Amino acid sequence: IPRFNESEGHGPKRLHPVEDYFDDLSMHLMYEIYRKDFELFRYDFDNPANKMPIGEIDLAEVHAKLGE
């Protein structure tokens, strides 16, 4: 099983890019399940290899959602 939460610079390196582990169906299911997280944290659905948000994260919105 691949490890996705390894910190940069230590731990095992992935043999394949993260996007190679997902097909169209699994990408769709992942988005449907985690849609709110993708939107709240501005995750890049179209590019799983992108580790950075695609826009500025609204911390007030994050705190409000976490407080619900």
∠ CA 13-40-63, nearest 5°, is 110
| Element housing 46 (H / E) | none
pLDDT at 53 > cutoff 70: yes
pLDDT at 63 > cutoff 70: yes
The pLDDT-based confidence of 9 (bands split at 50, 70, 90) is low
